Amino acid sequence: MERLQKYLARCGVASRRKAEEMILNGLVEVNGKIIKELGVKIEPGRDRIKVAGQEINPEEERIYLMLNKPKGYITGNRDPHGRLTVLDLLPMGFPRLFPVGRLDYNTTGLLLLTNDGDVALALTHPSYQVKKVYDALVQGIPSPSLLEKLRNGVLLEDGPTLPAEVDIIKIKAGNAILRIGIREGRKRQVRRMCEAVGHRVIALKRMAMGPLQLGSLPPGKYRQLTATEISALRRISRAR
């Protein structure tokens, strides 16, 4: 027996958290019955599972792609307003993948695409505290005291942030490029942190996520992860 949301993640439908949302929204059927509560267990191979009317079966092959997300793309599988999504950067007929975590429409940089729900959960769930590193071009140059405030945590409308790693790595035309490492994944967190200390973010790029480094991958391009990178991700997912 296996929990329904874990089975959906293992089949590459979505991350485990997203699978839970799909269940609560009534999009999942087990043997013809719509399930709207968590905790239901199923027997793979015997029970028939459908998501939005489509039957789901386990996928043998696990795929891991690193994408350098450009501006002007939605991080999602589809957009109700018809805007381009990051999946539009993949060839037609590519196996079904989902993005791990979100980057804003105008945020660029490292994005993992996979069908491995356990890895997706490990990289995004707050309890794993996986570090994400961003380069933020901010308006003006933060003072040492404001940098220290960011390092210690700032108060946002949804509560104080955890301590962060923050350094100025470059000064550009009177503005600073900050390298910021955080272990949370709140909505627009880096932008809100910088705004909280009076320095608006002009441009934001994710450089690293856990063991993954963006490196020299060009914008809009993707590559398969190496065996070493995949092993490192799986070690994180097995850590709890």
Longest CA–CA span in the chain (Å) reads 64
Any catalytic annotation for residue 104?
yes
Catalytic residue among 47, 79, 88, 104: 104
How far apart, in whole angstroms, are the C-alpha atoms of residue 232 and residue 15?
A: 18
Identity at 88, one-letter amino acid code? D
The set of residues, in sequence order, having a beta carbon less than 8 Å from that of 158 and lying 6+ positions away, is 186
Q: Is 61 left (phi over 0), alpha (psi -120 to 50) or beta?
A: beta
Check: CB of residue 141 under 8 Å from CB of residue 174.
Answer: yes
Check: CB of residue 49 under 8 Å from CB of residue 55.
Answer: yes
Catalytic residue list: 104
